[in-house]
Amino acid sequence: MARDVVVVGSVNADLIVQVERHPHPGETLLGHTSSVLPGGKGANQAVAAARLGAEVALVAAVGDDVNAGIALAGLRDAGVDLDHVTAVDAPTGLAVVTLADDAENTIVVVPGANASVSPRLVDAAADLIAGARVCVVQAEIPLATVAHVARVAAAGGTRLLLNVAPAAELPTETVRAADPLVVNEHEAAILLGRRDREPADAAAELAALGVRSVVVTLGAGGVVGIEDGEAWSLPARRVDALDTTGAGDAFVGALAAGIADGLPVRQAAALATRVAAASVTRLGAQPSYPWQGDDLP
């Protein structure tokens, strides 16, 4: 069955512990809350798009372990097609997040099975990708695979939404294949190799690399973009932000759903801005994403 959106990306279990303060090396501390939640940028984006009503399939890898079930729960619940999620001989991707009451959070990410998302797995999904309206990929899988996804999408005539998150350097030909390229301010600076640009100028410079459409997200500052040489900007929706975890992924998933629905990038970004704003009013990443028909800010 043809899909609106195929996501190639990471799947993690997020182990979240809350402590009063971070432990010193060698110290044992009592925390006061713990939870294990589904995460990973690929999974988050797939869930965000599927909850909005898009037909979504995921190409990914998990381990043959207890965390796989946790990591896939949100995807199953949202009705994402998991036929191309492979079980490999490595632990499911894990993010260990320590939230301190009065300090910075620390996060350790162990890619595990996500490192096995190979060009071969992408080739095995070539027909699925060719049949989709939009193929979405991020940089939490090997970068050689990201570059391969761009080639496979192009060969299948499928539009590529490239989200270079976390920040990474990619071949110019991969970046050029994006339509749109989606980055936050920090990721834009890494791609351009310089930090001294205003967001609108960064978007224009990225477009000047030969990219048809670019979207730069600015947190509570909203979003700037450019499509076919025409620049635009949108404010963020004003909400009481409770937890911005996964806001960028909510934005990308909604953007993909909107584009798959035939919207121009700017209109899809307007939808994505509302979906991301809804997500920051609730705790967590996937559990905070709105469903089709929910009231949006």
Interacting residue ranges for ligand ADP, rule: CB under 6 A: 165, 184, 217-220, 222-223, 236-237, 239, 241, 244, 247-248, 251, 273, 276-277, 280
Nearest CA to 130 out of 111, 151, 112, 156 is that of 156
- To the nearest whole angstrom, how small is the minimum distance from the Cβ of residue 273 to ligand ADP? 4
Distance CA 157, CA 99 (A): 43
249 is catalytic: yes
| Catalytic, out of 179, 243, 249, 261 | 249
β pairing state of 5-8 and 134-137: parallel
- CB of 23 or CB of 221, closer to ligand ADP: 221
CB of 48 to ligand ADP, least distance (A): 11
Of residues 143 and 296, the one with the C-beta less far from ligand ADP: 296
DSSP collapsed to 3 states, the chain: CCCCEEEECCCEEEEEEEECCCCCCCCCCCCCEEEEEEECHHHHHHHHHHHCCCCEEEEEEEECCHHHHHHHHHHHHCCCEEEEEEEECCCCEEEEEEEECCCCCEEEEECHHHHHCCHHHHHHCHHHHHCCCEEEECCCCCHHHHHHHHHHHHHCCCEEEEECCCCCCCCHHHHHCCCCEEEEHHHHHHHHCCCCCCHHHHHHHHHHCCCCEEEEECHHHCEEEEECCEEEEECCCCCCCCCCCCHHHHHHHHHHHHHHCCCCHHHHHHHHHHHHHHHHCCCCCHHHCCCCCCCCC
Give whichever of 129 and 164 is closer to ligand ADP, judged by the CB atom: 164
- Smallest separation (angstroms) from ligand ADP to the CB of 1: 31
- CB of 155 vs ligand ADP, minimal distance in Å: 29
Closest CA to 35 of 286, 291, 281: 286
Minimum distance, C-beta of residue 45 to ligand ADP, in the bound complex (Å): 11
Taking the complex as a whole, the smallest distance from the CB of residue 127 to ligand ADP amounts, in Å, to 31
Q: Which residue is nearest to ligand ADP (CB)?
A: 248
- Catalytically annotated residues: 249
